[in-house]
Amino acid sequence: MEVIGADGTVVVSRRFVVALCTCRRSRSYPWCDTSHRRRSPPGGRAAGPARCPAADRAPEGEDGGAEGEDGGAEGEDR
């Protein structure tokens, strides 16, 4: 599949499903690299679940997170 960026650049992925970064923190943008994850202070594990809107099926743009696409994980999951 092809992803066309806001500046017109085109990137291509041959994966069966892609995870698009919606948090803008990925260092492999436009692909998600899990940089959206919630962070805990060193040594301690923060309580409560991590936020990852795609996985939690929340609408995109709320606070970032990978979004399955192209008939992939998200589309099949309802």
Partner 1 sequence: MSAPAVAVRPAGPRLPRDRGPLSGAVLARLRDATGPLPTEQEAGRADPYGPDLQLALYVLYELHYRGFAGVRDDHEWDPALLSVRRALEQRFLGALRTDVPAAGAEEAMAALLIEPAGDDGSSVSHYLQREGRLWQLREYAALRSLYHLKEADPHAWVLPRLSGRAKAGMAAIEFDEFGAGRAEGIHARLFAALMTDLGLDTTYGRYVDPAPAEALATVNLMSLLGLHRSLRGALIGHFATVEVTSSPGSRRLAEAMRRTGAGPAAEHFYDEHVEADAVHEQVVRREVVGGLLADEPELEPDVAFGIGATGLLEDRLATRLLGAWRADRSALRSPLTET
- Written as six digits, the tokens of 75 are 């589309």
- Residue 53 is given by DSSP the state H
| Pick 29 or 46: Cβ nearer ligand FES | 29
Q: Which of 3, 37, 60, 70 binds partner 1 (CB under 8 A)?
A: 37
Residues 55 and 69 sit within 8 Å (Cβ to Cβ) = no
With CB under 5 to 8 Å by kind, the binding choice for 68 among partner 1, ligand FES, none is partner 1
Q: Check residue 36 for interaction with ligand FES (CB under 6 A).
A: yes
**Opening angle at CA 77, ends 26 and 68, nearest 5:** 20
Coil, helix or strand at residue 38: coil
Q: Which residues bind partner 1 (CB under 8 A)?
A: 14-19, 27-28, 31-34, 37-43, 45-46, 48-50, 52, 54-55, 66, 68, 72-74, 76-77
